[in-house]
Amino acid sequence: MQLSSRIFLGLFCLLVAILLLAPTLVVIPMSFNSNKSLAFPPAGFSWQWYDNFFTNPEWLLSLRNSFLIATVVAILATTLGTLAAFGVTRAAARTGGLLRAILITPMVVPGVVLAIGIYAVYLDTGLVGTVAGFVFAHTMLAIPFVLIAVSASLEVFDRRLETAAASLGAGKLTVFRTVTLPLILPGVLSGALFAFITSFDEIIVALFITSPYLKTLPVQIYSSITRDADPTVAAVGTLLFLATSFIIVAGLLIGMRRGRT
């Protein structure tokens, strides 16, 4: 390749990277603002918004809610999504394709449309503003991610190993526990991670079914920023950014170690 075109390509990639990172890079300095405003560039330096986040019960409660809901969602969606992935990959090709298309709709349908439907049903059933309501809605949104991650693992899984295990004396459940699950575990774990994050940062449906007594962290961020432009949201944003980066880097490192052995 010509030197000039390589330089051009490099610059272009840099530009795209800046574009992708810009919103995040704006949030971090804002979180250390010493004024009570979301202005960029920030003025001065202070830890006060981090302090506020960790001392204000409203913020802590919403964080706790989000963690609780996301954890239950991760467990539920991973279980259901894994079972669905088995069904889809092991059904006849046409049935499996149809099932997969149906199961993936929550990813395709606009969030607002889903939110309206969920809200309408929840009004009648009294699920608005309840943990169960959040868990149901988010589980539905998270299942497609689990399905995709686990079926990718199942497609490369050698089913003949199950036959071999059966011939050695393992019943169906034992085969699953000792052979199938350990080998598709990377897919299951990444599905669980996706499910957790899907619930943890979900805002559209949450805005519809939230109540003053039950707010998740994204809802709290949203209402805080629309009400009084509180720079605490920048501190929360920075913390979330660090937490997710940590999880993803850890995941990549584990994946690399597995790949080597």
Contacts with other proteins, residue ranges (CB under 8 A): 158, 160-161, 163-171, 174, 178-179, 182-183, 261
Crossing angle for the helix pair 131-156 and 93-108, to the nearest 10 degrees: 140
Residues 150/184, Cβ–Cβ less than 8 Å: yes
Q: How many CB atoms lie within 10 A of CB 3?
A: 7
Q: How far is the CB of 191 from other proteins (least distance, A)?
A: 19
Give the C-alpha separation, 71 to 68, whole Å: 5
Backbone angles phi, psi at 183, to 5 degrees: -85, -25
| Shortest Cβ 231–other proteins spacing (Å) | 49
| Residue (36 or 172) nearer to other proteins, CB | 172
What minimum distance in Å lies between the beta carbon of 167 and other proteins?
4
- Name the residue nearer to other proteins (CB basis): 21 or 168: 168
> Shortest distance, CB of residue 81 to other proteins, whole angstroms?
22
Return left, alpha or beta for 169; rule: phi > 0 is left, psi -120 to 50 is alpha, else beta. left
The smaller minimum CB distance to other proteins, of residues 37 and 174, is found at 174
Of residues 192, 190, 197, the one with CA closest to residue 67 = 197
Residue 211: strand, helix, or coil: strand
Q: How far is the CB of 181 from other proteins (least distance, A)?
A: 10
Q: Please identify, using beta-carbon distances, which residue of 23 and 169 lies nearer to other proteins.
A: 169
- Specify the length of the chain in residues: 261
